[in-house]
Chains A and B, each alone.
Chain A
């Protein structure tokens, strides 16, 4: 067993790799969860990763023991995506080392970038509206025809049944509305997107903490709902399957964040009919890794216009899907305009319970 493994960083993960670098930037050890590091051992790592060429001297020179760089986009063949990096200084056997943690959030940030793209385009259009407010002719802003012209949006247009597109298209119509009304609507949308981005950031950081603890799951979930909906305790029916043990080893923050992302908006809805959240545990035979199933179903009133209202929820579910996928799980969304049904089935692998 290497020194590195002794540091409890040898556990394989589907989204995290830890590399130990010596003082000269050579790889000393790696768990190789994301890529095979053996191809980069003959030279200092800075020769292979542009980013590190400039940062290693800076990290050594810094007074901080840990430095983080989030949302790094790399094109390196072994790391082709979006990652969060953290560098910690460590002394092992009297020698200085750097622990390089790589968190693969490619799936998550691919969703993030879509929201950021819309938010930025909304902001740019808002700026044009503001500028043209006093210069408009017949109340029509001059730049509305340029609204949402990006490649991403154009792609969405081709997907006629895409709810994200419907949301955007709805807001696009604002471009022809009087400037004042358009500004208010755009500001609302921008704030909504900003909150969504903050939720992603929060979730990503909680996942990174990687703190798995034994919890009494029913108590944790009950507590969460008591805090979130104290005035409406019956709005969501909680169902605990017989398969769910009292104690489960789980990242508590991640669990409550998932439940929050899937249920919270709906909790604030006034007009919905009923909803249920079921939790159960499934044992998988091949690696004895239990899977937590979280099944959320919401039956909405027939007078709610799902096409307009649900677009934002669907965006959120697509983010959650990428987050769950990063954690090695799966999310199947449930959506039916005919039956006014909305929900998600999430399967999340856990540590042994």
Chain B
């Protein structure tokens, strides 16, 4: 079976662990509990008729990506860069962060994820997405589960191309 390492990264409090828990365990908690370091789990999905084992790394949030230890990124095939759509300061460094990640992992597929869409009205959501310097690949709600499964499946398909 093919294995792919996927990294969830971004600023603190944007909902990386919530996306991780929603995708792996279909669970959500309103309580914010910070992550230190890394949590790793795996889930098998299907892509183009083939089983793929996703090894998902949930990394502690940092304001900028250059503060994340490089070893965490080694061998990653996919990166989900998560921002909190309700907190603009979580995407203020997005351009530099994405450039940094592209340099670090030239072959990796990178997706920008706008999380916590459930906190915004449709108008606010449109404004938030528009204000982000890098195109947002998917908007999600880890709370309701909206687009979470699709996000990981879309990334898997891209990694398997």
Contact = CB atoms under 8 A, between A and B. Distances in A.
Contacts of A184: none
A53 B35 CA distance: 22
B92 to A, nearest CB: 10
Contacts of B38: 69, 71-73
Interface string A108-135: 0100110011001101100100110000
Given A124-B13, A131-B88, A71 B60 contact: yes
A151 B33 CA distance: 8
Contacts, number: 84
Interface string B22-53: 00000000011111111111100000000001
Given A50-B42, A73-B38, A120-B13, A55 B75 contact: yes
A163 B53 CA distance: 46
A67 B71 contact: yes
B36 A152 contact: no
Contact of B3 (A53, A113, A124, A149): A53
Nearest to B53: A53
A80 to B, nearest CB: 12
Nearest to A128: B87
B32 A113 contact: no
B55 A54 contact: yes
Given A53-B42, A54-B55, A120-B12, A68 B37 contact: no
A62 interface: yes
B74 A62 contact: yes
Contact of A73 (B36, B53, B61): B36
A54 B3 contact: yes
A51 interface: yes
Nearest to B77: A54
A117 B34 contact: yes
A69 B31 contact: no
A150 interface: yes
Interface string A33-68: 000000000000000001101110110011000011
Size range of the chain A interface in the assembly: 20 to 34
A70 interface: yes
A212 B52 CA distance: 47
Given A70-B37, A71-B60, A72-B37, A55 B13 contact: no
B88 to A, nearest CB: 7
A69 B33 CA distance: 21
A71 B75 contact: no
Interface string B67-103: 0010110110000000000011100000000000000
Interface residues of B, number: 29
A135 to B, nearest CB: 13
A82 interface: yes
Interface string A144-155: 000001111000
Nearest to A105: B37
A279 to B, nearest CB: 33
Contacts of B116: none
B5 interface: yes
B103 to A, nearest CB: 17
Contact of B36 (A62, A67, A82, A149): A82
Contact of A50 (B40, B71, B72, B89): B40
B36 A112 contact: yes
Nearest to B76: A54
Nearest to A124: B13
Contacts of B87: 124, 127
A118 to B, nearest CB: 9
Given A58-B74, A113-B36, A121-B32, A50 B41 contact: yes
Given A120-B13, A131-B88, A69 B39 contact: no
9 contacts: A50-B40, A53-B3, A53-B53, A54-B40, A68-B69, A69-B72, A116-B36, A120-B12, A152-B33
For the complex of A and B, the 6 pairs showing the least CB-CB separation, nearest first, are: A71-B37, A58-B75, A54-B55, A54-B5, A117-B34, A151-B31
Interface of B: 3, 5, 12-13, 31-42, 53, 55, 57, 60-61, 69, 71-72, 74-75, 87-89
